[in-house]
Structure 1
Amino acid sequence: MANTPYPQSYYAASANPVPPRPALQEEVQTDVCVIGAGYTGLSSALFLLEAGFSVTVLEAAKVGFGASGRNGGQIVNSYSRDIDVIERTVGPKQAQLLGQMAFEGGRIIRERVAKYNIQCDLKDGGVFAALTPKQMGHLESQKRLWERYGHTQLELMDQKRIREVVDCDQYLGGMLDMSGGHIHPLNLALGEAAAVESLGGKIYEQSPAVRIERGANPVVHTPQGKVRAKFIIVAGNAYLGNLVPELASKSMPCGTQVITTEPLGDDLARQLLPQDYCVEDCNYLLDYYRLTGDKRLIFGGGVVYGARDPANIEAIIRPKMLKAFPQLKDVKIDYAWTGNFLLTLSRLPQVGRLGDNIYYSQGCSGHGVTYTHLAGKVLAEALRGQAERFDAFAELPHYPFPGGQLLRVPFSALGAWYYSLRDRLGF
């Protein structure tokens, strides 16, 4: 049987030691079968176990193999489309519920880290950096919007103030969110998996779900085993493939690229990011970066529509890093990797139920670290019969990409080019 290892990333190289987990080679019975051991699946499993359900998690590769173990590691509030877009799209009650939930994911992460003593280099503070006056105006509006929903840990920064937290002369200003922050994302996933097992949950690695037998008592088949369950949660996101065809038509896997420098040393690291906050800029195709626990710079950006792996990731991302930090021109890149996230046309997550007993959440659209932890709580609530918050997500409208499977990649790339051009021209 094929064994799929982690990609050669900094996160995999610095992961906390974990016990080997077996592949499923038998038939098991459980209350809930979760497909995917990323943040959505692990968060769902934890909330369900805490509520008294029995849970079995199936992972095609290893815990955190997908986006959960490859992302930029930034705790960023709200959704990929902000609450003002939701307010214009849905009714006031639904908008109010979704707005209240927009800041919950980060709190869940911190609660999990504290409750289960997860060692994942958690640091507080995230910066949104403005490159143009228009972007600065957007941050001013965003602060007012978030404060309207009770989120008050925000500070607008002028050009002088932002230079105190990031040694980059590109920015006109920014906004600091002290409820944001950053983590070692794979170690967070591994810690959550250990918490699942501490509560009696079962996790099988190298056990892809190859077929779902739907019905009153659904069965999930793997190459060498099967899981009989009362409920199924589909949490594969960009790595789900065509297991559930109706979920594939309204979403598109996309790749983002990340590089990690050699250790910079305390002095240079402190010069770049004196308060150790994470940073993302406000461009449509944004760049993001932060320091690791051992004082490397992780820098990511770029989107490959359709999730192809670029031949030379460093060639794509290093120029972006040097534009922000020319002082790193002689610094060596130790790791470069790509990871996939799932994009929806609305840029809002897709949540729903197939039949009576198959639940799903997908399509974080590049904003998944916090949302996935919220999604796990919302899915668990729905299985317990408390569906108000689940329904608020499930009722969001979603549409297929223009051009269907064949043309969605070039159409999306053309749209991204247009918005990137507007960013460069300051429109």
Structure 2
Amino acid sequence: MANTPYPESYYAASANAVPPRPALQGEVETDVCVIGAGYTGLSSALFLLENGFRVVVLEAAKVGFGASGRNGGQIVNSYSRDIDVIERSVGPKQAQLLGEMAFEGGRIIRERVAKYNIQCDLKDGGVFAAITAKQMGHLESQKRLWERFGHTQLELMDQPRIREVVGCDQYVGGMLDMSGGHIHPLNLALGEAAAVESLGGTIYEQSPAVRIERGANPVVHTPQGKVRAKFIIVAGNAYLGNLVPELAAKSMPCGTQVITTEPLGDALANSLLPRDYCVEDCNYLLDYYRLTGDKRLIFGGGVVYGARDPANIEAIIRPKMLKAFPQLKDVKIDYAWTGNFLLTLSRLPQVGRLGDNIYYSQGCSGHGVTYTHLAGKVLAEALRGQAERFDAFADLPHYPFPGGQLLRTPFAALGAWYYGLRDKLGF
């Protein structure tokens, strides 16, 4: 049987040591079968186990193989479309409930890290950096919006103030969110997997779900085994493939690229980010960066629609890094990789149920680190019969991409080109 290792990345190279996990052989029975050992699946499994369910997790490769172990490592609140956009779409009542949940994912991460002693380089503080006066105005509105939903750990920063926390002269100001922050994302996933096992859950790696036998007692088939369950949670996101065809039409895998420098040393690293906050700019096609625990700079950005792997990632991202920090022109890049996230047309997550016993959450649209942890709690609540918060997500409207699967990539790329042009022109 094929053995799929982690792709080469800084995260894989610096991952905490974990024991090997077997592939599923034969037949097992459980209350809930979770498909996918990324954040959504692991968060779901943890909440279910804490509430007395028996849980089996199937992972096609290794824990955190997908976006959960390759992302920028930033804890960013809310959703890829903010609460005001949601409110215009669904009305104030549903938006109120979704707004109350918008800041919960980060709290769940911190609770997990503390409760299960997860070593993942957790640091507090995230900066939204404005390149134009218009972007600064948007941040001022965003602060008022988030405070309306009870989120108060925010500080608007003028140009002198942002220069105190980011050693970059291209920003006119920004907003600091002290409930944001950053982590080593793969080590977070590995720590959560260990927590799942500590509570009696079972994780099988190298065990892709190849078929779901639907019905009153669904069965998930793998190449060498099967899981009989009362419920199934589908948490494959951009790596689900066509396992559930009705979920593929309204979403599209996209790639984002990340590079990591050699260790910079304390003096240079501190000159870039004196407070060790993470940063993302306010462009539609945004750049994001932060320091690692061993004082490297992780810098990411760009989107490849359709999830192709670019031939030269460093050539795409290094110029962006040097635009922000020209002083790094002689610094070596030690790692470069790509990872896929799942985009929806609305850029809001898709949550729902197929029949009576197959639940899913997908389509974080590049905003998944916090949302996936919330999703696990919401899915677990629904399986316990508490569906109000689940229904608030499930009732969000979603539409297929124009042109179907054949044309969704060029249409999305055209839209991205338009918004990228707006960024460059300062609109």
After superposition, the CA RMSD in angstroms is 0.3
The 3-state SS of whatever aligns with 1:11 is: helix
The 3-state SS of whatever aligns with 1:420 is: helix
The 3-state SS of whatever aligns with 2:390 is: helix
Q: Distance in 1 between matches of 2:422 and 2:29?
A: 54
The 3-state SS of whatever aligns with 2:369 is: helix
Q: Distance in 2 between matches of 1:426 and 1:76?
A: 24
* TM alignment of 1:1-400, pairs within 5 A: 1-400=1-400
The 3-state SS of whatever aligns with 1:164 is: helix
Q: Distance in 1 between matches of 2:62 and 2:232?
A: 19
1:175-227 Cα shifts (integer Å, max 9, x gaps): 00000000000000000000000000000000000000000000000000000
The 3-state SS of whatever aligns with 1:228 is: strand
Shift of residue 116 of structure 1? 0.1
1:114-157 Cα shifts (integer Å, max 9, x gaps): 00000000000000000011100000000000000000000000
Shift of residue 415 of structure 1? 0.5
Shift of residue 91 of structure 1? 2.3
Shift of residue 329 of structure 1? 0.1
1:41-81 Cα shifts (integer Å, max 9, x gaps): 00000000000000000000000000000000000000000
Shift of residue 93 of structure 1? 1.5
The alignment's TM-score, normalised by the length of structure 1, stands at: 1.00
1:376-401 Cα shifts (integer Å, max 9, x gaps): 00000000000000000000000000
The 3-state SS of whatever aligns with 1:369 is: helix
The 3-state SS of whatever aligns with 2:165 is: coil
Range moving further from structure 2, 83-92 or 328-337: 83-92
Q: Distance in 1 between matches of 2:26 and 2:404?
A: 39
Shift of residue 242 of structure 1? 0.1
Shift of residue 26 of structure 1? 1.2
Q: Distance in 2 between matches of 1:91 and 1:232?
A: 31
The 3-state SS of whatever aligns with 2:424 is: helix
Q: Distance in 2 between matches of 1:236 and 1:255?
A: 15
Shift of residue 40 of structure 1? 0.0
Shift of residue 303 of structure 1? 0.1
1:322-379 Cα shifts (integer Å, max 9, x gaps): 0000000000000000000000000000000000000000000000000000000000
The 3-state SS of whatever aligns with 2:336 is: strand
Q: Distance in 2 between matches of 1:91 and 1:381?
A: 24
1:292-331 Cα shifts (integer Å, max 9, x gaps): 0000000000000000000000000000000000000000
Shift of residue 82 of structure 1? 0.2
The 3-state SS of whatever aligns with 1:68 is: helix
Q: Distance in 1 between matches of 2:26 and 2:58?
A: 13
Q: Distance in 2 between matches of 1:210 and 1:351?
A: 21
Aligned residues: 427
The 3-state SS of whatever aligns with 2:142 is: helix
Q: Which blocks of at least 5 consecutive residues in structure 2 are unaligned?
A: none
Q: Distance in 1 between matches of 2:100 and 2:205?
A: 35
1:244-285 Cα shifts (integer Å, max 9, x gaps): 000000000000000000000000000000000000000000
Q: Distance in 1 between matches of 2:242 and 2:87?
A: 32
The 3-state SS of whatever aligns with 1:191 is: helix
The 3-state SS of whatever aligns with 1:398 is: coil
1:93-132 Cα shifts (integer Å, max 9, x gaps): 1110000000000000000000000000000000000001
Q: Which blocks of at least 5 consecutive residues in structure 1 are unaligned?
A: none
The alignment's TM-score, normalised by the length of structure 2, stands at: 1.00
Identical positions, percent: 94
Q: Distance in 1 between matches of 2:26 and 2:103?
A: 41
Shift of residue 92 of structure 1? 1.7
Q: Distance in 1 between matches of 2:419 and 2:133?
A: 16
